[in-house]
Amino acid sequence: MKSSLLLFSLCFLCLCISLLPSFSTSTILFQGFVWASSEQEGGWWNHLKPLVGEIAASGAEYVWLPPPSNADINGSQGYLPKRLYDLDTSKYGNKEELKSLVAAFKQSGVKAVSDIVINHRMPERFDSNGNSIFEGGTPDSRLDWGVAEICRDDPEFHGTGNPDTGIGWGQVPDIDHTSTRVQQELSDWMNWLKTEVGFSGWRFDMVLGYAPKFTKLYIDNTKPEFSVGELFEKVALGNDNKPLANQDAHRGKLVNWVNEVGSGVLTFDFTTKMILGAAVEGELWRLKDGNGKPPGMIGTKPESAVTLVDNHDTGSQKTYPFPEDKIMLGYVYILTHPGHPSIFYHDYFERQNGIKDNIKSLSAIRKRNGITATSSINILAAQADLYMANIANKIIVKIGPNENLGNLLPSNAQVVANGQDYAVWELK
Task: Band the pLDDT of 312: cuts 50, 70, 90.
Answer: low
- Note the pLDDT of residue 316: 37
- Note the pLDDT of residue 7: 31
pLDDT digits 0-9 by tens, 166-201 = 998 888 999 999 999 999 999 999 999 999 999 999
What percent of the chain stands above pLDDT 70?
92
pLDDT at 10 over 50: no
- Residue ranges covered by each domain of the chain: 29-375
Instruction: Compute the average pLDDT of residues 150-169.
Output: 93
Q: What is the mean pLDDT of the chain?
A: 90
From the list 115, 149, 164, 205, the catalytic residue is 205
Instruction: Compute the average pLDDT of residues 55-62.
Output: 97
75 CB-near residues (< 8 Å, 6+ apart): 5, 122
- Note the pLDDT of residue 16: 45
Report the CATH architecture of 29-375: Alpha-Beta Barrel (3.20)
Burial 217-247 (b: 16+ CB within 10 A, else e): bbbeebebbbbbbbbbeebeeeeeebbbeeb
Instruction: Compute the average pLDDT of residues 111-135.
Output: 96
- Note the pLDDT of residue 240: 84
- Note the pLDDT of residue 190: 98
pLDDT digits 0-9 by tens, 278-311 = 999 999 999 998 888 898 888 888 899 998 887 7
From the list 230, 283, 303, 347, the catalytic residue is 230
Residue 207, phi then psi, degrees to nearest 5: -70, -10
Instruction: Compute the average pLDDT of residues 115-129.
Output: 96
d(CA 290, CA 300): 13
pLDDT digits 0-9 by tens, 235-255 = 888 898 888 878 889 999 999
Instruction: Compute the average pLDDT of residues 313-320.
Output: 49
- Note the pLDDT of residue 309: 87
- Note the pLDDT of residue 296: 86
Q: Is 230 a catalytic residue?
A: yes
d(CA 16, CA 390): 21
- Note the pLDDT of residue 54: 97
pLDDT at 2 over 80: no
Task: Band the pLDDT of 353: cuts 50, 70, 90.
Answer: confident
Quick check: 13 and 33 in contact, CB under 8 A?
Answer: no
Q: Is 205 a catalytic residue?
A: yes
pLDDT at 50 over 70: yes
Q: Residue 36: count other Cβ atoms within 10 Å of its Cβ.
A: 13
pLDDT digits 0-9 by tens, 216-227 = 999 999 999 999
